[in-house]
């Protein structure tokens, strides 16, 4: 189909997840024009339940993008997490171990809602439910994004395209074969997650290693709990009635003198686990950011924070490009991001390996995990290492 209309912008952004929307917000504040294209509806992206832990640096970036008002009012500031193993809980005092850093619990879904409403309030272009998105001429000085909206085929001409369309998007797939190297690891686990209308039973997140498998107690607000259970990647959610989920959570998280408060299950789903990175994160005038370039398993709570870190670097490089006309910073984008990407890949793999039970019940593995957990909570150096990675202050 031939385009029937052409529009022009400086930076075309594919995908309205946290990466694309935050990039648009940061560039908007610097007077750089963007058009954001999203293939799902506004309602869909504002109700998809995703991650919930923000590093301090991520909070600061959202402040810079001008969207942290509600996050500052409603986000829950946490100064520690709990590691549970061998029937006991041990607190890792994140703030104490990192010279004052903390994390904020605030759902990715809420971040997306705040970014969308700020964008629409500013009258800046954000198009939902676009179809047949196709990137063209990405190695030229005038890359284009073609799409159709309500039957009208449009061509968006840009200086640069930001591929922020997640792990199943079209951007990465547009890069010619042979350019990218990819690195991945599959895990034999997934997480069965629920959102429940009940006050969280712990003030802080609890990561539990148990003979029945991993479990995590998290939250979204003083009235909403978010809980996860290690399960198989092909787990049939239909066989997990609410009562069975609570029973399993009680078994994995329960301790003498402590019970998990139960409540109505509002949402449930299975999250697969994968580690994946492509290098470089750029080809011509296409720059990949967030899940489009890398995936981490959720155990380290890094996916959202990495996506935000990428767009911070990309926004800085674009601001430099428009100010000076030099592409030097843009050329350094991939390398600058990848150092941190690999730090987070390692941390997420490490947390995943330490906390999940192998299905064959390998006793040697389990003994190693417990030895590692015990070392992590008894050695100041080991605890500090976990803490600086968790809060995002570790040097990459
Ligand atoms: N055209 C337009 N938009 C698309 C296309 C396409 N062809 N394909 C996908 N998208 C949209 C998706 O619908 C989604 O809204 O791109 C967006 C990508 O957003 P995310 O998947 O949230 O990815 P990102 O912004 O990189 O954020 C990473 O999301 O999955 C979590 O754990 C991950 O927390 C991390 C965060
Ligand atoms: C969440 O609350 O969704 C959450 C918290 C910590 C994680 C992963 C997910 O490591």
Ligand 1 atom with least separation from CA of 171: 7
Q: Measured in angstroms, how far is the CA atom of residue 207 from the centroid of ligand 1?
A: 26
Locate 5 and state its tokens. Answer: 């209309």
- Does the reported pTM lie above 0.85? yes
CB burial string 50-64: b at 16+ within 10 A, e below: bbbbbbbbbbebbee
Residue 248, Cβ neighbours under 10 Å: how many? 20
Half-sphere exposure of 39 (CA within 13 A, CB side): 16
Tens-digit pLDDT string for the chain (396 aa): 566 899 999 999 999 999 999 999 999 999 999 999 999 999 999 999 899 999 999 999 999 999 999 999 999 999 999 999 999 999 999 999 999 999 999 999 999 999 999 999 999 999 999 999 999 999 999 999 999 998 899 999 999 999 999 999 999 999 999 999 999 999 999 999 999 999 999 999 999 999 999 999 999 999 999 999 999 999 999 999 999 999 999 999 999 999 999 999 999 999 999 999 999 999 999 999 999 999 999 999 999 999 999 999 999 999 999 999 999 999 999 999 999 999 999 999 999 999 999 999 899 999 999 999 999 999 999 999 999 999 999 999
Percentages of the chain per state (helix, strand, coil), in multiples of 5: 40, 30, 35
Q: Which ligand is nearest to the CA of 300?
A: 2
Exposed, middle or buried, 15 (CB in 10 Å: 0-12/13-18/19+)?
Answer: buried
Locate 99 and state its tokens. Answer: 């010279």
- Beta carbon of 38 within 6 Å of any ligand 1 atom: yes
pLDDT of residue 3: 65
pLDDT of residue 1: 59
Residue listed under structure tokens 């009258």: 123
pLDDT of residue 4: 82
Locate 396 and state its tokens. Answer: 């990459």
**Positions marked active-site:** 78, 207, 298, 302, 390
Answer for the pair 83, 215: CB distance below 8 angstroms, yes or no: no
Cα 293 from Cα 103, distance rounded (Å): 24
Q: Whose CA is nearest to atom 9 of ligand 2?
A: 51
Q: Measured in angstroms, how far is the CA atom of residue 75 from the centroid of ligand 2?
A: 14
Cα 226 from Cα 216, distance rounded (Å): 8
DSSP at 255: B
C-alpha angle 350/22/324, rounded to 5°?
105
Cα 22 from Cα 290, distance rounded (Å): 11
**CA proximity to 298, closest of 207, 184, 209:** 207
Sign for the CA dihedral angle at 221, 225, 230, 236 comes to negative
Which amino acids bring their CB within 6 angstroms of ligand 2? 51-53, 205, 218, 226, 298-299, 301
Q: Is 34 helix (H, G, I), strand (E, B) or coil?
A: strand
Answer for the pair 169, 286: CB distance below 8 angstroms, yes or no: no
Locate 106 and state its tokens. Answer: 């605030």
Q: Measured in angstroms, how far is the CA atom of residue 126 from the centroid of ligand 1?
A: 14
């Amino acid at each position: 189909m031939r385009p029937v209309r052409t529009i022009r912008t400086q930076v075309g952004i594919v995908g309205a997840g946290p990466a694309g929307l935050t990039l648009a917000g940061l560039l908007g504040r610097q007077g750089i024009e963007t058009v954001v294209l999203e293939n799902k509806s506004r309602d869909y992206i504002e109700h998809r339940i995703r991650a919930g832990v923000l590093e301090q640096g991520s909070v600061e970036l959202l402040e810079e993008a001008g969207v942290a008002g509600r996050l500052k009012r409603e986000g829950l500031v946490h100064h520690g997490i709990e590691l549970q193993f061998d029937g006991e809980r041990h607190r890792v005092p994140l703030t104490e171990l990192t010279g004052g850093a903390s994390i904020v619990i605030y759902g990715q879904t809420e971040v997306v809602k705040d970014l969308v409403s700020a964008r629409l309030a500013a009258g800046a272009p954000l198009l939902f439910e676009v179809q047949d998105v196709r990137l063209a001429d990405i190695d030229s000085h005038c890359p284009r994004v073609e799409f159709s909206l309500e039957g009208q085929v449009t061509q968006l001409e840009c200086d640069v395209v930001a591929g922020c369309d997640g792990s199943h998007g079209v951007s990465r797939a547009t890069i010619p074969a042979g350019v990218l190297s990819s690195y991945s690891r599959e895990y034999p686990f997934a997480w069965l997650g629920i959102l429940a209308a009940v006050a969280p039973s712990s003030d802080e997140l609890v990561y539990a290693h148990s003979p029945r498998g991993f479990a995590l107690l998290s939250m979204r607000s003083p009235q909403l709990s978010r809980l996860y259970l290690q399960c198989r990647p092909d787990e049939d959610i239909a066989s997990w009635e609410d009562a069975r989920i609570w029973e399993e959570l009680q078994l994995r998280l329960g301790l003498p003198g402590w019970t998990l408060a139960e409540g109505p299950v509002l949402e449930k789903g299975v999250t697969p686990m994968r580690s994946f990175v492509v290098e470089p994160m750029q080809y011509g005038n296409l720059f990949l950011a967030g899940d489009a370039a890398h995936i981490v398993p959720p155990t380290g709570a890094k996916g959202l924070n990495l996506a935000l870190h990428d767009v911070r670097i990309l926004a800085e490089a674009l601001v430099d490009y428009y100010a000076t006309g030099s592409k030097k910073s843009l050329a350094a984008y991939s390398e600058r991001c990848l150092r941190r990407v690999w730090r987070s890949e390692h941390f997420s793999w490490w947390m995943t390996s330490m906390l999940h039970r192998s299905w064959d019940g390998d006793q040697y593995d389990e003994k190693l995990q417990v030895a590692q957990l015990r070392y992590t909570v008894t050695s100041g150096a080991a605890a500090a290492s976990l803490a600086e990675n968790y809060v995002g202050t570790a040097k990459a």
